[in-house]
């Protein structure tokens, strides 16, 4: 039965066999590993992954696709979770989890940040995203693409862009190119904020006014003289700061705040 892609789910199905093979080779799944695929859709990656695995979890929100997946794959080897990936608790699948997926463009960023909440249970993540999003994720300080997304993702993960995928590899054909990125959670954070909620608040505040200097963008939290003591140039703009410097500013703000701490977690500030 032919499935009509649904815009509300951001469905663009991967159909290029050569691209599929390249992605699966990059993931390099092996028997005995615990994998979960987000948004399996018509099963383009599901089948090739299952050829190399004993068992696979998949998370799919589309009811029609759930029925199709359960009919196409043996239930003993593919567990289909009919859920919204944004609310699915990936940590319940156990430790050493490997996450893969062709993420819908319309929820890709919040979904990555949702996965970050389960980083302690995750071994690695291989996901396909809009190419521009991957470029922002891996951007370095002082580059055009470097921003809040770069800082918050790089705080938690080591990143490696793997390949660019042409729009013609999908049906329907999207208006943008895609890219696959590998994300590996740090076993120990290289720059650990004393209060991650404050870290999220400072990064958000800085980049909400990215054309302003740090002195002006963060004046609510950090005094002009404090920047010197923290060895951070107050005349810089937020895109010029490395993660370690954002952590230093956030730690200062957390120590010296007279009001209540931010209620949002790091990942909710992403």
In whole angstroms, give the CA distance from residue 40 to residue 47. 10
Position 6 confidence tier, pLDDT thresholds 50, 70, 90: very low
Q: d(Cα 180, Cα 175) in Å, to the nearest integer?
A: 17
29 contact partners, CB below 8 Å, separation of at least 6: 35, 49, 52, 53, 98
Q: Is the pLDDT of residue 147 over 70?
A: yes
Whether the Cβ atoms of residue 71 and residue 134 lie closer than 8 Å to each other:
no
Low-confidence winner among 15-24, 47-56, 84-93, 102-111 (lowest mean pLDDT): 102-111
Average pLDDT, the chain: 91
Mean pLDDT on 260-267: 50
- Report pLDDT for 259: 53
Q: Is the peptide bond before 172 cis (omega within 30 degrees of 0)?
A: yes
**Domain 7-185: assigned CATH number:** 3.40.50.150
What's residue 263's pLDDT?
A: 47
What confidence category does residue 11 fall into, taking pLDDT thresholds of 50, 70 and 90?
low
**In 3-state terms, what secondary structure has residue 242?**
coil
Reported pTM: 0.89
Lowest mean pLDDT among 100-114, 121-135, 140-154, 182-196: 100-114
List 157's β-bridge partners, or say none.
185
Task: Answer whether residue 8 shows pLDDT above 70.
Answer: no
Distance CA 29, CA 37 (A): 12
What is the pLDDT averaged over residues 33-52? 96
Q: What is the spatial distance between Cα 222 and Cα 256, in angstroms, rounded to a whole number?
A: 9
Evaluate if residue 260 carries a pLDDT over 80.
no
**Spatial distance between the Cα atoms of 247 and 253, rounded to a whole number of angstroms:** 10
Max Cα–Cα distance, the chain, nearest Å: 67
Structure tokens at 219: 């004046």
pLDDT band at 13 (very low <50, low <70, confident <90, very high): confident
- 30 pLDDT higher than 80: yes
d(CA 259, CA 236): 27
Sign of the four-CA dihedral 150, 133, 118, 256: positive
Helix then strand then coil, in percent of the chain rounded to 5, is: 40, 20, 40
pLDDT bucket at 262, cuts 50 / 70 / 90 = low
Q: In Å, how far are 133, 140, 224 from 253, measured between CA atoms?
A: 29, 24, 13
CA distance 56 to 128: 18
pLDDT band, residue 258 (cuts 50/70/90): low
Report the candidate in 6, 71, 73 with the shortest Cα–Cα distance to residue 37.
73
C-alpha to C-alpha distance for 262 and 268, rounded to whole angstroms: 11
Has residue 208 got a pLDDT over 70?
A: yes
Residue 269 banded pLDDT, cuts 50, 70, 90 = very low
**Per-residue confidence (pLDDT) for residue 172, from 0 to 100:** 81
Backbone angles phi, psi at 195, to 5 degrees: -140, 105
CATH architecture of 196-269: Orthogonal Bundle (1.10)
User: Cβ(225)–Cβ(234) under 8 Å?
Assistant: no
pLDDT at 110 over 70: yes
Please state, as a whole number, how many other Cβ atoms lie within 10 Å of the Cβ of residue 264.
14
Please check the confidence at residue 7 and state whether its pLDDT lies above 50: no
Q: What is the pLDDT of residues 157-183, one digit of tens each?
A: 999 999 999 999 998 888 899 999 999
What local confidence, expressed as pLDDT, does residue 268 receive? 46
CA torsion sign, 130 to 133 to 139 to 144?
Answer: positive
Q: Where are the domains of the chain?
A: 7-185, 196-269
Count of other CB atoms within 10 angstroms of residue 204: 16
């Amino acid at each position: 039965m032919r499935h009509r892609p649904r815009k509300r789910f951001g469905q663009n199905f991967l159909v290029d066999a050569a691209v599929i093979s390249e992605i699966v080779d990059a993931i390099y799944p092996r028997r005995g590993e615990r994998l979960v695929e987000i948004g399996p859709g018509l099963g383009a990656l599901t089948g090739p992954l299952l050829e190399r695995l004993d068992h696979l979890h998949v998370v799919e929100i589309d009811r029609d696709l759930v029925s199709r997946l359960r009919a196409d794959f043996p239930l003993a080897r593919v567990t289909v979770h009919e859920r919204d990936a944004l609310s699915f608790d990936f940590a319940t699948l156990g430790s050493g989890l490997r996450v893969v997926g062709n993420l819908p463009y319309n929820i890709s960023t919040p979904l990555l940040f949702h996965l970050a909440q389960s980083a302690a249970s995750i071994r690695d993540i291989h996901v396909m995203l809009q190419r521009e999003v991957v470029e922002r994720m891996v951007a370095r300080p002082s580059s055009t693409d470097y921003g809040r997304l770069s800082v918050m993702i790089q705080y938690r993960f080591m990143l490696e862009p793997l390949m660019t995928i042409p729009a013609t590899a999908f049906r329907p054909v999207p208006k943008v190119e895609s890219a696959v990125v590998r994300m590996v959670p740090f076993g120990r954070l290289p720059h650990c904020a004393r209060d991650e909620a404050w870290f999220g608040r400072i990064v958000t505040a800085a980049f909400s006014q990215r054309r302003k200097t740090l002195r002006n963008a963060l004046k609510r939290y950090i005094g002009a003289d404090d920047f010197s003591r923290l060895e951070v140039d107050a005349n810089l703009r937020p895109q010029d700061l490395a993660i370690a410097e954002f952590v230093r500013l956030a730690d200062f703000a957390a120590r010296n705040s007279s009001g209540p701490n931010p209620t949002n977690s790091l990942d909710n500030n992403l």
